[in-house]
Every structure is written in C-alpha cells, then in structure tokens.
Structure 1
C-alpha cells in the first residue's frame, strides 16, 4: 500500500467509476472504497445521452459492448390520461458521435468501466468497505475505513490521500464529514418502479418513452434496453409503502392499465423510489470534493440523473489529473463547482418543473394544464444548458460565445493506417482541431504538450498531425462557426474557436484559464 495515494474515492457508482478511470488512466495512484461487495446486477439509470456515451468510450473497455443492448430514444412524450401526447421533446439526432438519447442497461455500462479500472495497476478497489472517519490536513486527507457492518477496531485502517472524492450517494458520509449541507427545494415524491423482463414482443406503443399525466395516478413506461420494459407509478400520500413491494400490486396495475400479464412479462425488479430536488451548497471543502448524488438529487423527468453524475466524475477527474501532474495550479480546482453547479442546477430545476406539471392530481387543474399544453399557451421548455463559467474562452467583452461551452463533435477519422472514432485516434484529452498547420511558438506547443493536447490537421496532409475527416464532421463544425480551429476539453466541451491568426492567443488564454505552472511537465 502506498504511503499516500493521490486520490481516494468513496463510492463506486457512475461518478466514482468515471473519476477512477479518468485519474487511473493518467497514471495517478487511486484507491476506491465501496460499501457493496458486488456490482448491483439490476438496472437503475436507464436514459443515456451521447455525451455520456462518449465518456464511457474514454473510460471503459468497450463502448460498443456497453451499448450492445441499448435502444435509441427519439422523443420524450408527456401525454394526457389517454396517453395522447400533449408535449413531445425531440430527442432524435446525434451527439458526440452517438445517438443523442438511448435506453441502456446500467450494469452493462458500469461493467465496461470497471473492467477498464480493474486493468490499471495503479488503482486499488476495495469492495465491501465503508468509510467512517475523515480528517483534513494541510497537504493530505486521512480516511478511516472498515469492512461493511464491522465493529471490530482491529479491522479498521487509515489511509492518506492528497484529495478525496465523495461519490457515495444521497446519504453521503463524505459530504456530512466535510460539513457540507444540501439545499432542499421542497419537492418529495414516491414512485413505484417495476422493471419487467419481456417474454414476447410487446405492442408497438411500448417502444416509446411517455409520461402519462393521469390525475387519478400519474405513470410512465419506456423500453429498458432491448430485453426489458420499465413501468413507474406515482404513489398517493396515504398509500402504504411496504405494500408496494407485493408483486400483485405490479400485476394488478399492468392488467388494469395495459392488459399485460405473466404471459408477456416477468418481474425483474420492484422498488419504491423517493425523489427530491436538492443541490449541495458547496462541492469542495479544502481537499475534499463531492460528486453525483452526494452533490445533487433530481426527479427523473429529464432522464439526466446518471448522466449528470458521469459529468461530475469526468470534470473533477481531468482537473485533479492536471493538478497532480504538476502542470496546473490548485486554483484550477475551484472551477469544478463553478462549472458543474450552474449546469446541473438548470437540469435539476427543469426536471422539478416537469415534475410539478406531471403530478397534478386535481382533475380541474389537470384539465387546465392539458388545455394550455394542447393550445401552446405555455412557454416552451428551456434549452438544454451548456457551460457558461470556468475554463472557457472569453470574447473581448468577457462574454461567452454561443459555441463556447457547447459539446464538440466526434466523427470518424483516418490517421496513418488506422480508421475509427475520432477520440480513439486522437486520445481522450484536450484536442486542437485545425484546418491548417498551426503557427505556434515553442512555448505554446509546450503548453499543449503539458496538458496532453493532441493536434489534428484537416487540410495540410503533409503535416505529421494530418488526419482525414472521413464524414466531414469536423470540417462542417468549423465552417458552421466560421472558424479555422477549435480546442475541446477532456469532457468534450468546446474551450473556444479561433481564426488561424487568433489561434496563438487562444492557446495562451487556455494556459491562463488552466492556471498552468512554469514547471509544467508533459501529461
């Protein structure tokens, strides 16, 4: 066991897995503590966007394996009691080189990330182990752990780490030990979830995601990968939660509402979920950070709980990696909350608003809602957020351009004799995509080397960094934004675009925004 780890991670769900894979792949010494002995074998998170797929591509052993049973979702519908859509959110198209939205099987996705982590000799994962003590010092954190449910002092041990990430869920020990409180926005719902194994093909209508806003009992259904179906129903305030675990409750609802029974399906999982709208007031205290459900909880109407946790893990992962390598100063770590909290808060509150729309149980109020939605009397849903703060290029007036902070594209490239997804050929870190050979000083090229930034030259094929844009994805992006070059971050967000003449200044600004040190070493 090392004298001191670079990072200790408490909790090994999506946020912890992605953070461990990101830091471990960069060569840092990482230790992970997870209370459960084994990967939870049943689905929980189900909706996955293209951004999350791209992160799994970077942090997993095989994104194609992770998505082998996924189903593309082209829309999210909100319907009346007869399941006639009143509002349909367009989820079609591509994002980051993947379908914009998919229905996935969470254990399939987690398995490939854990497979990647297990292959890293510098990452140690201790399952069936819980943390119960945390003490911060000037240059490290002490974390005391023990086997799950153990009360034997002889089984306790204390490790030291330069930083700690608490990705240990809604009841986070790390968050509480760090003295971080959650802001609670007063929403609490109980929904019964039952995931079903499909024994035969279901009618076509079940191949969609729809929230049915029936004031008698709001409910929903959607495909759960290719082989399962998810159903959820809202519990009334006076309903006994324990009774909801009786399989007959599921069968009665499926028979009465959908005409389905044991000939078509079997029960995979039946559980009551409590939904809250909460966001942590702080995401960092000294050398301790929180991520995922430890930092925010939301209702499921945006399908973004798991995706947001994955964003957290990737964001803090690449920032800590630069600081630990000595390339960047610690001030960079302040950008973690500055970037993630506004972004996830926009999603949390949009989902909260949809929740209050869906869960109207007064018939008259429900009819007024339906009338307004049928006649487009309500304002449209807000656009999905992009990054607006932190490590981003600023215009002359300090504003952020529309393209800055948006997701960068990923297409197929040819480089040398290899063809494939762009990130697989260029690497999963910073990328400089440029039409022509960049005119940079040695210092500026040193900046790109220090942060592990790859260069892809699209048009000057004699350049050693030349690539062929097989589908024109990167070329179209530059044309659409009237640019000669752009830089994308390791979490796929556009740092900024530039003309050929403006590229040197963009690289200099990146170095400043990252708080790069003078003694930087190549990443």
Structure 2
C-alpha cells in the first residue's frame, strides 16, 4: 500500500464490548494496540442483556467489573412458560459460579461498555480511533497492513469523507461484528447454520421501580411468542416474534409497541427508547484465521439470543486470544500457537449455538397443534434436560490420562477468597490474573530446574495451600474443596480461566509442565534447563 504508515503490535478493527475486552487485555499485557471503529463513539443502545460468572471474571481481569456492578442485576432463574402461564422449563441462575461471581447477571449494555471503555482508556499503549472503516488488507511475512477510510454517520447513512490512512501491525484482530469487513477482506466465508427468525426488540427506561409476577423469561405463545427481562436495574426489554403478515414499519411504530406491552407497561411508567426488528441467526466463519488476521466475537460466529451467550462467547474469544498473542508477540511461543484459537473456541461456540437454537425452536413454535404437543412433551417428562455447558475438548490441554485430569481438564478453574501478606480478597485481585498453579503443598521447590524456568517464563502465580513458596490462606475453603473433589495434588489454570491439566496425587510437577511447553510451542531459551 506504500506511503506513511503507523505501526502497532496489533491492529484491531471494531470497538464493541468484545473489542473493548480485547484491547484492554492486550493493553494490560503491554502491547501497542491501534483500535479503529467506524462509528464516531460508543453505541448508545443495548444489544446483549446477560453475562455469566466466567465473563464477570474476564471483566475483573481488565479492571472493569466494579463499575459494571453499579447497575447489573443478579437474576435467580430464567423461565419458559406457555400461553397459559404453565412452566415448561426453568434455567437455574441462583447459584454462585466457580469463577468467584454469581452465576448470572442481567445488564444494560451501554453501562457495561462505559465500564469497559474506561478500562481501555487506562492503558497507555492502546490508541482508540473512532470514525474509521477498514477498506483494504494486505499481508506480508511478518506484518499485516490495513487501509482505513474516514467516515461519519448521518441521517441519510454512513458517509465517507475521502480521508485515508494506513496502519501496520504484526497481527490484525477483527472484532467488527456480524458484517465483519475484516472477515470479508480476508476472504473468509460465513456458513449459515440453519436458524433464521425475525423478532421485534423493544427497550424501555424505567421511570419508577417496576416488579412483575413474571419478570424474566420466555412466553411460548403460538399466537405470538415473546420474552421479557430486565436490563440491569433501570431498563427492561420486551421481544416479540414477527409473525407472517406483519408489516415491519407498523410493528415498530410507538403506538403498536405500546399496545404490545400494555399488559405490563404504560408510558407513565417507562420511556420507549428503541424498537427495531432483528434477524436472529446462527452462523460460523469457515476459518477464524487467515495468515495474520484473526476473528473474534460476531465476526467469527452468530447465535440466536435464547441462551444469552452471544456477547459472552465473544468475550471468551477475546480473553483466550489475548494471552496467546502475548506469548507470540513476546517471542516466547511459535506463531503456530494461534492456530489453536479456532481449534479450541469453535467447538465450544458451536455447542452453545446448538443449545441456543434448540431453545429457540421451543419458543418459535407458532403452529397451535405443534405447540400443544410441545407442552405435553415437557409436562410428561419426555423432553431431556438441557445438556451441560460445554468444556474445551482440544488445543492447549494436557494429555495426561489420570482421574484428576479427567475431572478438571478443559473446565473452568476456581476463584476463591485468599489471604496473603498483600491482603485479602478474590484471588485474581490479590495475586493477579494469568497462569495460576493451585496446589495442596509446595511442589515447585522440588521440581526440576527446567520446570521452574518455564513457570518463571510464563509468570505463573502460585496458590499453595501448604507451607513454602506461594503460600496463601484459603479463606472460604474454595481451593481445598476443589482439589478434594478432583482428587488432585495440583491444577494449572490458564489465563483464560480454563484448566490446562492436573498433577495426580502420585506424580511430580515436571510431567505437566514439560507437556505445557510442548503444547505452547515455547521457543528457546524458555525450555532450556
């Protein structure tokens, strides 16, 4: 492309919540990140309305969780009822998650984005540029260059100003949503996965506290399926399936919206802030990597919202890719490590998407006879319970075959309250996030020098429940109970909170760490004795 070019470690296109997490995570790791977003500022209206405990730990890791909690609402369950108010299915959200947070929260996305944006702005190595769209991508052996065009959003649409610029990075991250330009410019196709339904989405700002007998869930009424739920503590959402014969302009008009929600709301109680029709889709990119371009979030995958996991899956992508990029950018690991991005994340996302589609089909049944049969199947116990939440099945995971490994590998690791000389609190706040070795006793001091060198190279945090190096006090017993349940001497948790593997009760630490060095494709001298 030629000409004057700005240089970054990572160029990122897109600055929605997934892009914000990505930029903050890379910035906290010390990398120069150039972020380019086509809109002139943060998007002021909500899309996602739910996060879970894993995502909360991700927000915690970038310093955004406290501000987010100002408006987040902890919800105890999400229910599925038929048109007669009979319960078909309850999804339990009442428990405390393994990640150190409540299992699930309902959120108002603009407030979350404000918190994430503040976390990004605290990183001096991250530069955010609004009003720039990617229009070209060129790759070399060790660089990727992006051509950008300046634009402004006007009433008539998005208008390009004619100004252009070029930026170059070692890698390009596409966090630019469902209509990803990075994906298109990288020649990656999006594969439809079969779900495609239009729904009217309406959002309201409460003028007073509101409480309904049925606050959060789906009403599977074949005459018009719908759902309602809280968006944090101050907003609410009502969604209605667009039925055959509906006129989009008519159904999104304020008068029509108020008639649809009149059973619950009046203009005296709430302000209508948005009414639009969305197409709920399921799709996945054929590849999540093309050379030095990588995709995260909706740029890589789309799922219908019936499980509330779309944005959360994107946040998982961002946290996972950040720690791998960090190792590669710092010269510690081979570039081939980035191939595990799709190997790990796509099966996980596909499994969640399949669950969301299955729930969507329950809700989107509009034939009365089929709906009655559906209800009877639930009432008679002929509908199996939802499958367990997926785990990681491949990628940077230990190959050990012992019972402890089988119990924990690829699953989320724990976060509890600990006490050290530095203070007391959630472990990530006290000792820092990143690689964590959780053990019953000091197993590092007796390890081989090579093992200790690798742990040092990866800056592994130690949570040792016994005497010696890395000793912590397990204040609420979280870690002791976890190791007891797994029958493990120790577990090694990755920076994205998933367990790499376990040390069995009768083995040294060295086998686990040797395998990790190979899986990460660590470069010399990290693997030297």
| TM category, shorter | over 0.9
Q: Residues of 2 paired with 1:223 and 1:109: CA distance?
A: 15
Q: Residues of 2 paired with 1:165 and 1:417: CA distance?
A: 36
Match for residue 393 of structure 2 among 379, 388, 393:
388
Q: Residues of 1 paired with 2:298 and 2:334: CA distance?
A: 28
Does the 8 A contact of 1:326 with 1:521 survive in 2?
no
How far residue 111 of structure 1 moved from its aligned partner, in angstroms, is: 1.9
| Number of residue-to-residue matches in the alignment | 515
Unaligned runs of 5+ in 1: none
Map Cα deviations across residues 182-234 of structure 1 (whole Å, 9 max, x no partner): 11023211111111222233344243x21111000000111111112211000
Residues 129/302 of structure 1: CA separation in 2 closer, same or farther (3 Å cut): same
Match for residue 421 of structure 1 among 419, 426, 440:
426
Q: Residues of 1 paired with 2:46 and 2:179: CA distance?
A: 20
Aligned to 2:244: 237
How far residue 244 of structure 1 moved from its aligned partner, in angstroms, is: 2.8
Q: Is 1:507 equivalent to 2:487 in the alignment?
A: no
Aligned to 1:192: 200
Moved more, 236-245 or 423-432: 236-245
Aligned to 1:274: 279
Aligned to 1:320: 325
Does the 8 A contact of 1:326 with 1:520 survive in 2?
no
Matches within 5 A, 1:218-297: 218-255=225-262, 258-297=263-302
SS of aligned partner of 1:196: strand
Aligned to 2:156: none
SS of aligned partner of 1:99: coil
Does the 8 A contact of 2:151 with 2:161 survive in 1?
no
How far residue 402 of structure 1 moved from its aligned partner, in angstroms, is: 3.4
Q: Residues of 1 paired with 2:9 and 2:244: CA distance?
A: 47
Q: Residues of 1 paired with 2:126 and 2:526: CA distance?
A: 24
Aligned to 1:476: 481
How far residue 302 of structure 1 moved from its aligned partner, in angstroms, is: 0.7
Q: Residues of 1 paired with 2:167 and 2:49: CA distance?
A: 35
Match for residue 10 of structure 2 among 4, 7, 13:
7
Moved more, 217-226 or 376-385: 376-385
Q: Residues of 1 paired with 2:404 and 2:191: CA distance?
A: 29
Aligned to 1:114: 117
Q: Residues of 2 paired with 1:243 and 1:38: CA distance?
A: 30
Q: Residues of 2 paired with 1:423 and 1:211: CA distance?
A: 36
Does the 8 A contact of 2:405 with 2:503 survive in 1?
no
SS of aligned partner of 2:434: coil
Residues 396/330 of structure 1: CA separation in 2 closer, same or farther (3 Å cut): same
Map Cα deviations across residues 314-342 of structure 1 (whole Å, 9 max, x no partner): 11111111110111111211110000000
Does the 8 A contact of 2:296 with 2:317 survive in 1?
yes
Taking structure 2 as the reference length, the TM-score comes to 0.94
How far residue 82 of structure 1 moved from its aligned partner, in angstroms, is: 2.2
SS of aligned partner of 1:394: coil
Q: Is 1:141 equivalent to 2:144 in the alignment?
A: yes
Residues 398/422 of structure 1: CA separation in 2 closer, same or farther (3 Å cut): closer
Does the 8 A contact of 1:434 with 1:486 survive in 2?
yes
Match for residue 130 of structure 1 among 119, 133, 136:
133
Unaligned runs of 5+ in 2: 153-158
Map Cα deviations across residues 2-61 of structure 1 (whole Å, 9 max, x no partner): 85311100001122111111111111111000011111223221111000000000113x
SS of aligned partner of 1:326: coil
Q: Residues of 1 paired with 2:149 and 2:73: CA distance?
A: 40
SS of aligned partner of 2:256: helix
Q: Is 1:90 equivalent to 2:92 in the alignment?
A: yes
Q: Residues of 2 paired with 1:59 and 1:404: CA distance?
A: 25
How far residue 415 of structure 1 moved from its aligned partner, in angstroms, is: 1.3
Map Cα deviations across residues 356-413 of structure 1 (whole Å, 9 max, x no partner): 1211111111100000011111222111101111011123499972311111111111
Does the 8 A contact of 1:56 with 1:109 survive in 2?
no
Moved more, 333-342 or 74-83: 74-83
Aligned to 1:49: 52
Q: Residues of 2 paired with 1:23 and 1:54: CA distance?
A: 16
Q: Is 1:179 equivalent to 2:187 in the alignment?
A: yes
How far residue 521 of structure 1 moved from its aligned partner, in angstroms, is: 10
Residues 37/296 of structure 1: CA separation in 2 closer, same or farther (3 Å cut): same
Does the 8 A contact of 2:88 with 2:378 survive in 1?
yes
Map Cα deviations across residues 138-177 of structure 1 (whole Å, 9 max, x no partner): 1111100121256455x21111111101111111100011
Does the 8 A contact of 2:51 with 2:104 survive in 1?
yes
Taking structure 1 as the reference length, the TM-score comes to 0.95
Q: Residues of 2 paired with 1:450 and 1:399: CA distance?
A: 26
Match for residue 313 of structure 2 among 300, 308, 316:
308
Does the 8 A contact of 1:35 with 1:128 survive in 2?
yes
